[in-house]
A and B are shown apart, each in its own frame.
Chain A
Amino acid sequence: MGLFWTIVLLVVALAVTWRYLGSYMEAVFEGRVHFLAWAERPVYSLLGTGPENEQTWKRYAGSMIVFSAVVMGITYLILRIQGSLPLNPQHLGAVPQALSFNTAASFVTNTNWQNYGGETTMSYFSQIGALTMEQFVSPIIGIAVAIAMVRGFSRRNSPTIGNFWVDMTRGLLYIVFPIAFLAGLVFVGQGAVQTLAGAVSVHDTLNGVTQTIPRGPIGFMEAIKQLGNNGGGFLDQNSATPFENPTGLTNWLSIYLLLAIPFSLTYTFGKMVGSIRHGAALLGAMVVIFGCWVAFTSYAEHTNNPAVAAAGVHSTVGNTEGKEVRFGDTTTALFGVASTQTSTGSADASYDSFTPMGGFGLLTGMMLGEVTPGGSGSGLYTILIYAIIAVFIGGLMIGRTPEYLGKKIQAKEVKLAGLGALVMPIVVLVVTAVAVSIHAGRAGPLNSGPHGFTEILYALTSQGNNNGSAFGGLTGNTAFYNVIGAVDMLLGRVAIMIPALALGGVLAAKNVVPAGLGTFRTDNTMFIGLVIGVILIIGGLTFFPAVSLGPIVEQLSHGKFF
């Protein structure tokens, strides 16, 4: 019953957000929001550019890559010298090289894979200056790329697709900072910690326990962690800890925040191309897949944990291993699905201890390419790539040159879309094959049997899709996993962004063909079905063999323990 009303409240809140945040973001990126112009103008003069200086897609992509590399460099530097920087009450030393590299790559790609325990590795300076800074920047990089790609559809005969520096400035000032600040107040009001005073040691007179409570600027990092689809928390155990996610209300707010921007961007898309129906069609495809996965995974987590049942304890409250009492089984599953299908990767439970089919729900949610609704921006540009493939297939069926929003989809566009859709599966499967083939890779898993393989597959799928959630049993802080993971994350990010921007550039240069009677409709139920089909078929065909060796074998091994 709780799950039902939780979802009802979520749907209502997200519907309002979709409409208003969606149109607000359109206004921001089209330059019609000015209430912070006093801050915007000095930034442009420092940057030596402005809205009037448009860029070609190549310049845009170049700016994006150089900026990402510089931000990654700043982060790496801060982590390496944190021992000499202020705001370090626990006197933590430098973060090792491989771990710093992995972490810098992880946060700049919006992945937030964490091979470290936050409270025992990172100083407050690093948590704020390196990690939270990237948590603000990386979702806006994703949104900027998506907006630039959409300009390819909304513009005609245009050599340019916007200015990267302007899009970044507007996104930072008008979207992430203000919304995160408001959400942060709720987290702290509910009990999330927000202090710079350092850990505190307390002694309880009742039970004689002396303990050190880790503290820090946690609550407001939590806000941008969820809003920006980052997922990397201050503390090692992420949203499961009461200090990050104290109550059922903050748990709901987390789910809401991480879905807000990715869903709303479909409205932004519709408004920019002058057809809300087209945005709603993409939203429809996202919602159908997301809804099915929520139902499946919640059901799976409401069953018994096989090991606990075998020990003689039968549960009416689902699989409780690795879950917090205050959230319950099905809401935790909802959180997990929302987190894995948005490239957020935050966790309010131990995903490693989900039932085999619950873990299957999380893993496959990422394997669908993070498009339902996907990450900040990355969800929109990736589902547009799938939509172009769907249009191409639809065009083949009716024997006409396919069009999408009046733009002819020809060989070049389909090649770019194919590249964008195939990069992630190839990268993930290749690095997984490497990891299971060599000793350093096989040394990682905590669990034996098929679950051990799933831990490796999950880790590399998560990083390749810039998700960042984990089957936490895997020991990832080794030279091998730090380096291969960083490569996985960077390719999974940049190798999709570049085809997306190229598509934007190529499409912007085209004129619009007026729609006729024979035009294949791309805003109706039929098209929604086609997009869903493309997403499921590409994901299913590429990953079924790998998944069948992991969670499916585990599910079918009745009565066996590993």
Chain B
Amino acid sequence: MSLTSTDIRSGSHLRIGLSWLLRNHIWVFLALTVAVFSLASPYFLTANNIGNILTQGAFIGILAIGMTMVMIDGEIDLSVGATLALASALAIGLQTHIGIWPAVFVGLLSGAALGFLNGTLVALSGMHSFIVTLGGLIGIRGLVFVYTGENALMVPDFSYTEIPEIYLGPISMTAIIFFGLAFFFQWILSSTRHGRETYAVGDNIEAAHDAGINVKRHKIINFTLCGTLAAVCGILLSMRLGTAEPNAGRIWELWTIIAVVLGGTRLQGGFGSMWMTIGGVLTLAVLRNGLRLLNTPNYVELMVMGAVLILALVLDKLLKRQEAT
């Protein structure tokens, strides 16, 4: 950080840009992966494939937006995968009873309610969110199995799957929703009271409390946002697939956390941004897509992703150390 301050004094734009890159190093990483895959596969850098990457990345991306809010707060939400499965099951399962849009609305509401429940439990019980939402992860998944009767639910009318089939060039509606939400939440973080409170609570909860911030209410709001975004993701997924599988979104919470952490948002809270998260999400999507284009076996893909995550974190640590001296 002291690097930044001396830079400002010396007034060099180049070095200010460099220090921005040091803090948002994920974009360098992203550029690097894009370059590698472009050279490795002729199919990679095509408008069509880029569109695919953005759409595939958007699902984890929407989850990652909520996760970023919760993580800057110094908390974590492991239940997003299960929540998205429930929202998707409700949005499809209820269509025959109450119609398409009411069903979608109920799906959204279920996500908000579960997020609210997570937040309330964390804020009021004083238990760590890791434990609370781990319970949520298992419990909500159980609920999904009960509701679906362990079967995949099918949409009664396939016009439902055409709703998100709107494209802006190669960019899908889903991707646009992701970017829209990401920009909106970045604005919340940087320009609103709630955003400011998020950083304060995550960095120094005592100071935030003494400054008169209602820490409990604040955390409940962010968990509710996170749950709602998980439901948004689940509904978009149900529209894309036309079915709601009880196993949908399994271990997606892990991919989400990986994307956020890869971006540079810190697990211990107080630091991060949506710019970082967008970078993390895109890097993850590019890696998955690129490895598949190269016909990499699934298990090798997992190994590469694991290695990349560790590498990114090591890089983060090194940069931080350099900033500190």
Please indicate whether A and B come from the same complex rather than being unrelated chains. Answer: no
Question: Which residues from chain A sit less than 8 Å from chain B, CB to CB?
Answer: none
